[in-house]
Amino acid sequence: MPAATNRYEPDYAVPPGHVLKERLDAQGMTPAEFARRCGRSAKLISEIVAGKAPIEPRTALQFEKVLGVDAGIWLGIETDYRLQQTRAAAAEESAAAGAWSRSFPLRELARRGIKPATDEDMASALLSFFGVASVDAWHVKYGAKNVAYRHSPSFESDSFALAAWLRLAEIDAAGQRCADYRPSAFRAALREMRRLTRTPVPESLEEARRLCNRAGVTLSLVEPLPRTRLSGAAWWPSARHPAIALSARHKTDDHLWFSLFHEAAHILLHGKRNVFVDGAAGNGNDEETEANDWAADFLLPRAAWRRFVDGGSYNRATVLRFAEEQEIAPGIVVGGLQHAGHLPWNRLNRLKVRLQWTKAA
């Protein structure tokens, strides 16, 4: 059996242009004269010397005739050099991809099934998750500079975690079967959903999704990721199906339902080109204020709300009575009173329904 040999693979390669320049200097030949003898342009020879153009087989044969150096040697030098350059670029790309992947909340994403198989790394798993071929492609499609997230400078969500959360919502939405979007059908669905606020949340959200889908809107509930401090989002993945995603971040029914109607307002009132990512109470710009006002008026009609507030009596009995009259969850009434400053934030919170994420089996 032949003895094993160690193969030497240097981490550098000599540029073909350097070898050519040395050979020309040794023979006292200028690049211009060499170009004439080869029957090639001076520009091409200059680019080969500078490493900007490769030595191709036809060129190598011409070099062999003029300089007496076998064409195979020229092609070998060229191949070694280009291979070394490709390896160096791949190493840099791999390092960059590794740094990019570490920007995401990897432990939580792994819990949700986004993790590498045995034959791929985390960056590859993330690229597959996002449905893109490279980190550069990810930045084009999902990077903060390329997506018009509508949030204020004080919005605290991390851009990488936010992109992952939106992608989870996007995947969930893609699995929903929807009719084509009709604004009138969506408004009718919202009126039915308002009454659903009085029923248990898991069942009411399932029915809300069905109503939204029938009107052409996808509705997703996605557990927040670490560093995603948001209540919901609204956007148009296509002209036929707008999407709403909720995070239930604050884990109370009043926040959840207000977020749903706030995002619905974006769908009904605002443009299709933006992705609206909203905190608990909007973010202060005109569109957020408009969405807040629309949601508040839809859930707590202004005339009835003003009469109730003007009564000045805010206790368990009066809240329950008003909620029953308006066919709405008592927690939403409590949340409205607290937000308007009529109740301290620690009063009547037992009328709100506390929500809890359950781990999938």
Task: Please report the pLDDT score of residue 148 as a whole number.
Answer: 46
In which element (H, E) is residue 218 found? strand 218-221
User: In the chain, what's the furthest Cα-to-Cα distance?
Assistant: 104
Question: What per-residue confidence (pLDDT) applies to 281?
Answer: 44
- Contact (CB, 8 A) for 335 and 234: no
Q: Which CATH architecture best describes the domain 16-100?
A: Orthogonal Bundle (1.10)
Q: How many CB atoms lie within 10 A of CB 268?
A: 17
The SS3 call for residue 244 is strand
Rama region for 307: left / alpha / beta (φ>0; ψ in -120 to 50; rest):
alpha
Identify how many contiguous H helices and E strands the chain contains and give both numbers: 16, 4
Q: Is the Cβ–Cβ distance between 164 and 104 less than 8 Å?
A: yes
Q: Say if CB 322 and CB 309 are below 8 A apart.
A: no
Residues in the chain: 361
Please work out, in degrees rounded to the nearest 5, the angle formed at the alpha carbon of residue 249 by the alpha carbons of 245 and 253.
Answer: 85
**Residues 12-44: tens digit of each pLDDT:** 678 899 999 999 999 999 999 999 999 999 999
Whole-angstrom distance, CA of residue 227 vs CA of residue 335: 25
Which residues does the chain have with pLDDT short of 50?
1-8, 119, 145, 148, 150-154, 280-282, 361
CA-to-CA distance for 58 and 46, rounded, in angstroms? 17
Residues 315-325 pLDDT 10s? 999 999 999 99
Q: What is the pLDDT of residue 282?
A: 46
Helix (H) or strand (E) holding 276, with range, is strand 276-278
Among the listed residues 300, 345, 340, 357, the one whose alpha carbon sits nearest the alpha carbon of residue 323: 300
Contact at 8 Å (CB) between 220 and 246? yes
Count Cα atoms within 13 angstroms, Cβ side, for 218.
24
| DSSP annotation string for 40-64 | --HHHHHHHHHTSS---HHHHHHHH
pLDDT at 156: 65
Domain ranges of the chain: 16-100, 106-142, 159-296, 302-351
- CA pair distance 90, 69, nearest whole angstrom: 32
Measured distance CA(169)–CA(219) in Å, rounded: 9
